[in-house]
């Protein structure tokens, strides 16, 4: 059994190491990080546009200074309209008049570093296509989902959860949508925008800098592939272990059965050469009566007129076993022979036939004697018979 354990542990440790390497590789490959900056290297072509209250009749302004390696703009929020704002928009498309809808459903978050000349409350917008409302020539008709964040003179990193944005009530009211209609579509994204509004300084030109805009998500294909490989490897491991265990048990059972048969055969041969009448009577009596479920030491003592001490002394000198141990040896050896000869018989039937009235007790004794349960023993011999045929 020690050899089997050593092989099993060795295979298990090896598989754990391989599994950890595969899981780590697939997990890292599944993590998506897509940089939108520098703009020229972005896998999603985009251009930078101003995003201000001019659509509401306002006069707030945005002037871009840099739009390739970072988004840097100077803005002035002028309180001419009720809700003034000014900022920048990442519009997906190569030209100002080109519209492009992008599928961002693989991404769960967007992060960026931001710095404002003066403390300000800003808003991130996701603009998605709404088939019932959107007009291609009107960016405000694209469904807006927002999240506010703070912008300070010291640069800070902001992470926005793209799955938990809020569709503002003013947008729903503007386009006559129900107040409960708060869904939006990442797979129909038209643009991202950042704005500074009247929660910050008004009527003064200030500067905002946005860098390292990164989309974060997962590619589930790698997770599925990794899971499939690991499932295949572990299934194979259990199959190999089962085969090793079966082979070990078969070898162990055959060895124990052979030793049991040899001991019983030796005992029978040795009795013929002995003239010890008491020992001969005892052994012959037990070989004849062992299948009797009521056979006990007291019954044997009464039948043969021998004391408890004498019976155990005779059996120990012959087999090294006590009365109970020798009786179980006889019964279990006979049971193993019957299981190997006729695999169609029920285990309980054989247990009763060799003198056990309790099948669970028989199963425990059999496992101690042969290293496996009667069911496995029967299956092993059944397999051997089928292969020989």
Handedness of CA 234, 238, 243, 248 (dihedral sign): positive
* Structural contact between residues 119 and 192, judged by C-beta atoms closer than 8 angstroms: no
* Structural contact between residues 362 and 351, judged by C-beta atoms closer than 8 angstroms: yes
3-state secondary structure 73-133: EEEECCCCCCCCEEEEEEEECCCCCCCCCECCCCEEEEEEEEEECCCEEEEEEEEECCCCC
72-86, 164-178, 222-236, 375-389: least confident range: 375-389
Residue 206 makes CB contacts below 8 A (sequence gap 6+) with 74, 75, 76, 116, 117, 118, 120, 196, 200
* Structural contact between residues 92 and 190, judged by C-beta atoms closer than 8 angstroms: yes
pTM over 0.85? The answer is no
193-197, 242-246, 273-277, 293-297: least confident range: 273-277
pLDDT of 94:
52
Work out the percent of the chain whose per-residue pLDDT is above 90. Answer: 51
- For the cut 80, the answer to whether the pLDDT of residue 185 exceeds it is yes
CA–CA separation, 330 vs 339, rounded Å? 14
**What pLDDT, in 10s, does the model give residues 92-138?**
975 545 568 999 999 999 999 999 999 999 999 999 999 999 998 88
Structure tokens at 190: 């038209």
* Structural contact between residues 158 and 119, judged by C-beta atoms closer than 8 angstroms: no
**What pLDDT, in 10s, does the model give residues 281-312?**
888 898 889 989 889 999 989 988 889 998 88
**What pLDDT, in 10s, does the model give residues 342-362?**
778 889 999 999 999 999 999
CA–CA separation, 156 vs 1, rounded Å? 62
Mean pLDDT value of segment 311-334 = 88
**What pLDDT, in 10s, does the model give residues 24-72?**
988 888 889 999 999 889 999 999 999 999 988 999 999 999 767 899 9
The overall average pLDDT reported for the chain is 86
pLDDT of 98:
59
Mean pLDDT value of segment 260-279 = 52
* Structural contact between residues 212 and 37, judged by C-beta atoms closer than 8 angstroms: yes
* Structural contact between residues 25 and 229, judged by C-beta atoms closer than 8 angstroms: no
- For the cut 70, the answer to whether the pLDDT of residue 386 exceeds it is no
- For the cut 70, the answer to whether the pLDDT of residue 387 exceeds it is no
pLDDT of 257:
57
**Which of the four pLDDT bands, split at 50, 70 and 90, describes residue 267?**
very low
């Amino acid at each position: 059994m020690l050899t089997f354990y050593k092989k099993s542990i060795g295979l298990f440790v090896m598989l754990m190491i391989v599994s950890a390497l595969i899981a780590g590789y697939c997990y890292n490959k599944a993590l998506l990080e897509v940089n939108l900056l520098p703009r020229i290297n972005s896998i999603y072509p985009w251009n930078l546009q101003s995003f201000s209250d001019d659509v509401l009749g306002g006069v707030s302004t945005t002037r871009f200074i840099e739009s390739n390696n970072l988004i840097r703009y100077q803005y002035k929020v002028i309180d001419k309209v009720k809700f003034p704002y000014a900022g920048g928009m990442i519009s997906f498309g190569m030209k100002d008049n080109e519209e492009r809808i992008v599928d961002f459903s693989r991404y769960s978050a967007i992060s960026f570093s931001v710095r404002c000349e003066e403390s300000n409350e800003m808003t991130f917008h996701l603009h998605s296509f709404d088939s019932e409302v959107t007009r291609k020539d009107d960016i405000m008709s694209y469904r807006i989902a927002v999240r506010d964040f703070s912008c300070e003179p010291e640069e800070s990193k902001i992470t926005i959860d793209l799955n938990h944005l809020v569709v503002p009530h003013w947008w729903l009211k503007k386009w006559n949508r129900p107040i409960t209609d708060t869904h939006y579509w990442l797979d129909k994204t038209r643009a991202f925008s950042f704005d500074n509004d009247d929660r910050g300084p008004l009527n003064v030109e200030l500067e905002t800098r946005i860098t390292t805009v990164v989309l974060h998500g997962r590619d589930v294909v790698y997770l599925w592939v990794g899971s499939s490989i690991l499932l295949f490897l572990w299934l194979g491991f259990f199959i190999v272990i089962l085969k090793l265990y079966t082979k070990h048990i078969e070898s162990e059972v055959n060895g124990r059965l052979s030793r049991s048969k040899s001991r019983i055969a030796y005992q029978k041969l040795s009795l013929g050469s002995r003239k010890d009448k008491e020992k001969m009577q005892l052994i012959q009596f037990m070989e004849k009566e062992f299948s009797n479920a009521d056979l006990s030491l007291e019954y044997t003592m009464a039948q043969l007129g021998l004391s408890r001490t004498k019976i155990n002394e005779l059996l120990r000198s012959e087999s090294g076993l006590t009365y109970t141990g020798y009786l179980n040896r006889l019964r279990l050896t006979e049971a193993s022979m019957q299981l190997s000869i006729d695999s169609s018989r029920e285990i309980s039937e054989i247990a009763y036939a060799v003198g056990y009235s309790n099948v669970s007790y028989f199963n425990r004794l059999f496992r101690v004697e042969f290293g496996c349960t009667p069911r496995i023993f029967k299956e092993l011999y059944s397999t051997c018979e089928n292969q020989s045929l």
